[in-house]
Amino acid sequence: MGLESALGDGYMTSKVDSLVNWARSNAAWPMPMGLACCAIEMMAFAGPKYDASRFGSEVMRFSPRQSDVMIVAGWVNYKMAHAIRRIWDQMPDPKWCIAMGACASTGGMHRCYGVVQGCDNFLPVDAYVSGCPPRPDALLHALMKIQDKIRTEHSVMLDT
Amino acid sequence: MTLELNETLQNVVDGLSEKFTDSLIDVYQSSGDTFIRIAPQVNVNVCQYLKKEHHFIYLADVFGTDRFTSEDRFELVYNLVSMRDQQRIFVKAWLPEENPEIESVTGIWESANWFERQTYDMFGIRFTNHPDMRRIYMPEDFEYFPMRKEFPLLGIPGSIDLPSTTPDTE
């Protein structure tokens, strides 16, 4: 069929790190945290036109236990921050976070008493996406940046 | 200022000035709407009268304003609509800065429940005889009233807690 016929009786070598990173980076399942209008663009990102499944990220699970990337899409108020942090804490390691749009990154135009001025006040954000709302391509770009980050990580540690 | 009232609203104003002569403070029009200012002590009676006698069965909104004056600082506004007559009327009452308090109209319109909770949340106007006088938006332990003029737009730093970023080490 595929690789095995090309290899014949031979074999190939690799590192566990690269194998695990390859698997992880191509199956980064998002935890959609849709809070405002950015969530509409996030749906387009998962839909057939922009097609996040090309990157293995089409599985929007709505379950923190089965997710790897949290996409915070929209403005975060102080009451919601506690729920988001709780969901984030329920996600199994390793996990990554995308702050999608101006509001999730900095508070955006919601410069007022009820809105957290950037979700990095309580979450470790890996990628920020600019735009209001960002186009789905921009979110795909953030996802690709996360993939790059995963691929350069040391995923397996020697336990000595 | 001369009032241009149609038949329905003229009836309302006439009825009010007859029944609540001492408590009717002002009637004026602005931007095509009619406003009636009453003494805060009679708000429930006036609302009851407008609903029963003039068919204002729909309470569209209750809200406050901070006039930021030294006397009668807060203004409470009821936005009443009569679907049958297709009329809208605003009933206002002024409240003092110290301990602003007025009786709830939840007994007349059920919808006043959440409107009054929001007015309490934002301005600190308390409603007596309200079935559930709690904050509706802000956290329960929040100490300020954000729509008051002296409240800074960006809030008081540290007045609302953010979640712990190291939950395992609590």
Residue environment code for B8-35, b if the CB has 16+ CB neighbours within 10 A, otherwise e: bbeebbeebeeebeebbeebeeeeeebe
Which residues lie closer than 8 Å to A44 by C-beta, 6 or more apart? A50, A136
Nearest to A81 among B137, B153, B163 (CB): B163
- Say which residue, A157 or A13, is predicted with more confidence: A13
Q: Does B155 contact A114 at a Cβ distance shorter than 8 Å? A: yes
Residue of chain B minimizing CA distance to A109: B154
- Residue B165 clears pLDDT 90, i.e. is over it: no
CA of B73 to nearest chain A CA: how many angstroms apart?
23
**Average pLDDT of the residues of chain A:** 88
Q: Where are the domains of chain A?
A: 14-151
User: What's the rounded Cα separation, in Å, for the pair A20 and A22?
Assistant: 5
User: According to CATH, what is the number of the domain A14-151?
Assistant: 3.40.50.12280
User: What's the rounded Cα separation, in Å, for the pair B102 and B69?
Assistant: 19
A104, A72 contact by CB (below 8 A): yes
Domains of chain B, start order: 7-128 (3.30.460.80)
Residues on chain B touching A123 (C-beta within 8 angstroms)? 165
User: What's the rounded Cα separation, in Å, for the pair A82 and A95?
Assistant: 18
- Chain A residues near any Cβ of chain B (below 8 Å): 78-79, 81-82, 84-86, 89, 111-114, 116, 121-123
Residues on chain B touching A111 (C-beta within 8 angstroms)? 153-154
- Residue B150 clears pLDDT 80, i.e. is over it: yes
pTM for the full predicted model: 0.82
Q: Does A86 contact B163 at a Cβ distance shorter than 8 Å? A: yes
Q: Does B163 contact A113 at a Cβ distance shorter than 8 Å? A: no
Per-residue model confidence as pLDDT tens digits over A63-117:
899 999 999 999 999 999 999 999 999 999 889 999 999 999 998 899 889 899 9
Q: Which helix (H) or strand (E) holds A149?
A: helix A136-151
- Residue B170 clears pLDDT 80, i.e. is over it: no
Nearest to A112 among B139, B154, B163 (CB): B154
Q: Find the mean pLDDT for residues A123-150.
A: 92
Residues on chain A touching B139 (C-beta within 8 angstroms)? 78-79
Q: Which residue has the tokens 């790190």?
A: A17
Per-residue model confidence as pLDDT tens digits over B72-109:
999 999 999 999 989 999 999 999 999 999 999 999 99
Interface of B with A in 1-40 (CB under 8 A): none
Q: Percent of chain A scored above 90 by pLDDT?
A: 55
Q: Is the ipTM of this complex over 0.95?
A: no
Q: Does B164 contact A121 at a Cβ distance shorter than 8 Å? A: no
> Chain A to chain B, count of Cβ pairs less than 8 Å apart?
37
Q: Does A85 contact B165 at a Cβ distance shorter than 8 Å? A: yes
Residue A99, CA distances (Å) to A74, A142, B43, B157 in order: 8, 9, 49, 23
Q: Does B139 contact A112 at a Cβ distance shorter than 8 Å? A: no
Q: Percent of chain A scored above 70 by pLDDT?
A: 97
The pLDDT value given to residue A2: 73
